[in-house]
Amino acid sequence: MTAQELRRKYIAFFVEHGHAEIAGKSLVPENDPTVLFTTAGMHPLVPYILGEEHPGGTRLVNYQKCIRTGDIEDVGDSSHLTFFEMLGNWSLGDYFKQESIRMSFEFLTSPQWLNIPIDRLAVTVFAGDDEVPRDDESAELWRELGIPEERIYFLGREDNWWGPAGQTGPCGPDTEIFYDTGMPGTAESRPGISDGKWMEIWNNVFMQYNKQADGSYQPMERKCVDTGMGVERTSTVLQGKASVYQTELFTPVIASLEGLSGVRYGDSEERDNSIRIISDHIKTAVFLIGDEAGVVPSNLGQGYVLRRLIRRALRHGRKVGLEDAFLEKPAAIVVDMYAEVYPRLQQQRDAIMQELGKEEEKFMRTLRNGEREFQKMLPNLERNPKREIPGRLAFKLYDTYGFPIEVTEELAAEHGLTVDRDGFDQAFRKHQEKSKMDDNQTFKGGLADHSEMTTRLHTATHLLHQALRDVLGDHVHQKGSNITQERLRFDFNHPDKMTPEQIAEVERIVNEKIQADLPVVMETMTLQEARDKGSIAIFSDRYEEVVKVYRIGDYSMEVCGGPHVQHTAELGNFKIKKEQSSSAGVRRIKAVVS
């Protein structure tokens, strides 16, 4: 079964069971600075899991593109990926454990659907602890469906618990479904141990508790279910492959790299590893540049991750003999592979190729500059009796000039030198620790917790958006936003730097609307109805057929997911702190309310 067939069957099954199909969202979470990327199918649905009503109803299903960067260094093995897709279905206060487990089992085992033999499945459930009891209900349901006792495993929180997203909020046990790959594994083999024998293919999360500030867990009246199934992993299982890289989701890209490099995949594990890394990173780069958010390589945030992925792919290209620019051909294949499922990639084809080409050229310049710096250091290095490049110097080449450590080692070997890799690794770890501290400061707070301040700031962006259009013109549209507990950041298209007079006028208008204490009213309607009524709907390809429209008096009307205050007087005083360039043709405003 191909990945496309899996997507179609999954959606069809849950639509038959009363779920509304909803569109997947951007890889960059809207108005959530707590993370850089959408990391799971449930991520865009957090507001609705927390209690907001979804326009699609209480039963939902979709497929969602995701990125996880925590294990980039593991990419290259048989299963780790940076970009992947999640199939998901949700119950928002509708059905709970019994219906969820029974539907999961039916889809997996029924001949009409995936037809997986029961004897290839095992499950895990929450073992309980001092705070929350064991999930005997889920275990009993699995027994009733025919899963034998010896393939039902009770595991702790590290394996079978989700949430809350912050310090408090919805959370609960999960039950995970594993497939027996047929590999021998180890003596300790069981689901949850990564020895190749058991592959997780589905996760059902039961949000039935609300964690309180005092650490206690209160049962929720409105219980929710969030499930996730990985497209790549499940396709691997259904096709009887040993690796995701053996499925049609990767083989065309690998074939193109074989043609470009003259290297045959399967002949050398070291080169195979590089080809897998290149394949994964190119795919991720294509999806990031082609995303609704239009990520481009930079030195900050999502753009920094994109730059790192592209340059890592180029570095591994050198390892298989690809010294010159080569990304365009495999990138074009990725676009063609996914054009039917994600039409936006085809629409953004030229932009994708342009950005990849620009970054390749920058990296080539980086290599040339780094080689020049290396040559400057060489006379002193060759006088060193140890014939070794100190780790701090190798890290300087990396950190200051973007020069990969592997290239430093190559050049060192050419001149009979070695590199103090332990010293480099130590400097690199210090750099990572500092970056993590900086990230924690940058991305604290956010709309995921629906706090009072972020709700106020989010509502203020609606007034700001309309005020900018009033002052600068109707060409102004939101290009992105980022909201923390301390401030809002709002990006919009405009060719010129705003004058002090324009900034003051925008600020005056927003405060005027706040002081008028305008009501904030939400209506649900079709996207077309919203447009017909004059509502701003910027991210059209992110919306469902039925949308939420927030009207602020007679001043602002915008399609949005929320959350919002009920009256503008709740916002307080609005103050623009900074107006600056974000990127070519895009301006950025930072503002606060008090």
Which of 2-11, 20-29, 180-189, 215-224 bottoms out in mean pLDDT, i.e. has the lowest? 180-189
Cβ atoms of 549 and 558 within 8 Å: the answer is: yes
54 labeled part of a ligand binding site: no
> What residue numbers bound the domain in which 392 lies?
383-440
Indicate whether 427 and 467 sit together in one domain: no
Distance separating alpha carbons of residues 65 and 81, to the nearest angstrom: 12
Give the H or E element holding residue 46. helix 46-49
Q: Is residue 162 part of a domain?
A: yes
Handedness of CA 576, 581, 582, 586 (dihedral sign): positive
Residue 544, pLDDT > 70, answer no
Taking only the tens place, the pLDDT of each residue in 555-578 is 999 988 777 899 999 999 999 999
Rounded distance between C-alpha atoms, residue 61 and residue 568, angstroms: 35
Residue-wise pLDDT for 339-382, tens only, equals 999 999 999 999 999 999 999 998 888 888 888 888 898 998 88
31/177 same-domain check: yes
Backbone φ and ψ of 176, nearest 5° = -115, 145
Answer whether residue 445 is part of any domain.
Answer: no
Residue 216 within any structural domain of the chain: yes
Each residue of 289-347: pLDDT tens digit? 999 888 998 877 888 889 889 988 998 998 899 988 999 999 999 999 999 999 999 99
Claim to verify: residue 276 and residue 135 sit in the same structural domain: no
Query: Is residue 331 one of the residues assigned to a domain?
Result: yes
Residues 462, 413 share a domain: no
Residue 43 assigned ligand-binding role: no
DSSP per residue over 478-498, as a string?
EEEEEE-SS-EEEEEE-SSPP
Tell me the C-alpha distance between 498 and 504, whole Å: 10
Whose structure tokens read 């964690």?
Answer: 211
Kindly state whether residues 568 and 465 are assigned to the same domain: yes
Which residues are 526's β-sheet partners? 546
Q: Are residues 486 and 421 in the same domain?
A: no
> Could you tell me if residue 435 is inside a domain?
yes
Query: Is 254 in the same domain as 394?
Result: no
Q: What is the DSSP string of 533-554?
A: TT-B---GGG--SEEEEEEETT
Indicate if 154 and 293 belong to the same structural domain.
no
Instruction: Give the end of a domain, one of 241, 263, 282.
Output: 241
Q: Which helix (H) or strand (E) holds 144?
A: helix 136-144
Give bridge partners of residue 120 from the DSSP assignment: none
Single-letter residue type at 29: P
Same domain, 418 and 550: no
Domain holding 121: CATH number? Answer: 3.30.930.10
CB 90 within 8 A of CB 42: yes
Strand ordering across the sheet containing 586-593: 478-483, 488-493, 586-593, 574-583
Are 43 and 179 contained in the same domain? yes
Is 80 annotated in a binding site? The answer is no
Distance CA 362, CA 537 (A): 36
Last residue of a domain, one of 326, 341, 373: 373
Rounded Cα distance between 253 and 320, Å, is: 15
Assign 446 a pLDDT band (cuts: 50, 70, 90).
Answer: very low
* CATH number for the domain harbouring residue 506: 3.30.980.10
66 assigned ligand-binding residue: no
Q: Does position 438 have pLDDT exceeding 70, yes or no? A: no
Q: How many domains does the chain have?
A: 4
pLDDT bracket for residue 142 (50, 70, 90) = very high
Same domain, 507 and 576: yes
**End position of a domain, from candidates 353, 373, 393:** 373
pTM, whole model, 2 decimals?
0.75
Do 422 and 403 share a domain, yes or no? yes
For the chain, the residue count is 594
Residue 446 lies in a domain: no
Q: How far apart are CA 423 and CA 419, in angstroms?
A: 9
